[in-house]
Amino acid sequence: MSGFTMPSATLLAQSILSGVFVGALYGLLGLGLSLSWGLLRLINLAHFAFAFLAAYLCYQMAQMGVDPLLSLGLIVPLFFAIGAGLHWGMMKFQITPFNSLLVTFGLTGIVEALIQTIWTADFRKLESSYGEHNFKVAGLYVPLPELITLGLAVSLSFVVWAVLRYTDLGKALRASAEDSAVAAAFGINEKRNALLLAGTCSALASIAGVCLALGFTLAPSQIYAWIGVVFAAVMLGGLGRALAPLIAGIVIGVSEAVTMAVTAPSWAPLVSFTLLIAILLFRPGRAA
């Protein structure tokens, strides 16, 4: 029974829908990471810690009666400031891309310990009115928190894509990433733009964190459970691209969900990592 089984049409359709929803969250988590890595040349592992810290803050504010979506009004500016502050420190100490991986890994451990100290290692579940609402469309169940996540992921990805493609700021950011010396020669304030982008990446992480809190049970150790699959989505999509993490995330999410529908759930993580290895082997240019 643990081998391959043929799923019913309903099970397959519901699984694909679940995969789209979880894939959207992969994409939303990967969006800031991809921009930071691709445009700032910083591999920010603390991105996941920030997302979880935001999730716990959302949980805490919900305990005090604040609507989870309204809590974004406080959480987003706070994390923008944290992200910009962190990047200011990185610039001050001239941290290289490889060292940024080590520094932000250490920071992740510190944030995990902080979360554990405040909220303990026990699981926390945000109970909100959003979790009580399900829609049934053509026999398929559509939970509201997941629908909100999908909506936010799609809209934010398109907004970031449009900003990067059509605005002077976006062009300046891409130019700095391409060749910072030449961009500076054209009068681009690289430092200011980098701080703005770093703050935005952390703000995006905090939005993903609120989505996490809406749909998932929280535990400090869960920070690490998301790193592998989101990295896979970012690398599969390509660095510094706004829409690619969302598309890649949905591809991975659907692949995992279908794997779980036809075989054992424990096989699902293999899908994302197999895709990651395949992309590194066959399309190294895209992942660089």
Q: Rg of the chain over CA atoms, in angstroms? A: 19
Alpha-carbon distance of 91 to 93, in angstroms, equals 5
Instruction: Please give the single-letter amino acid code of residue 262.
Output: V
Among 60, 99, 116, 180, binds another protein (CB under 8 A): 116
Of 92 and 136, which CB lies nearer to another protein in the complex structure?
Answer: 136
The string of DSSP letters for 86-113 reads HHHHHHHTT--HHHHHHHHHHHHHHHHH
Instruction: Tell which one of 20, 154, 222, 280 touches another protein (CB under 8 A).
Output: 222
What is the token pair recorded at 119? 């909220």
Residues 6-65 that bind another protein (CB under 8 A): 7-8, 10-11, 14-15, 18, 22
**CA 32 to CA 83: how far, in whole Å?**
11
Selected from 155, 189, 217, 274, the binder of another protein by CB under 8 A is 217
Q: Which is nearer to another protein, 143 or 240 (CB)?
A: 143
- How many residues of this chain interact with another protein, rule: CB under 8 A? 37
Does position 221 interact with another protein (CB under 8 A)? The reply is: yes
Per the structure block, which two tokens stand in for 116? Answer: 């554990």
Between 141 and 180, how does the x/- string for binding to another protein read (CB under 8 A)? x-x-------------------------------------
Measured CA to CA, the distance from residue 288 to residue 279 in angstroms comes to 11
Asked whether position 129 contacts another protein by CB under 8 A, the answer is: no
Whether 99 contacts 42, CB under 8 Å: no
| Token code pair at residue 227 | 């790193």
What residues make contact with another protein under the rule CB under 8 A? Answer: 1-2, 7-8, 10-11, 14-15, 18, 22, 116, 120-123, 125, 134, 136, 141, 143, 216-217, 219-222, 225-226, 256-257, 260-261, 264-266, 268-269
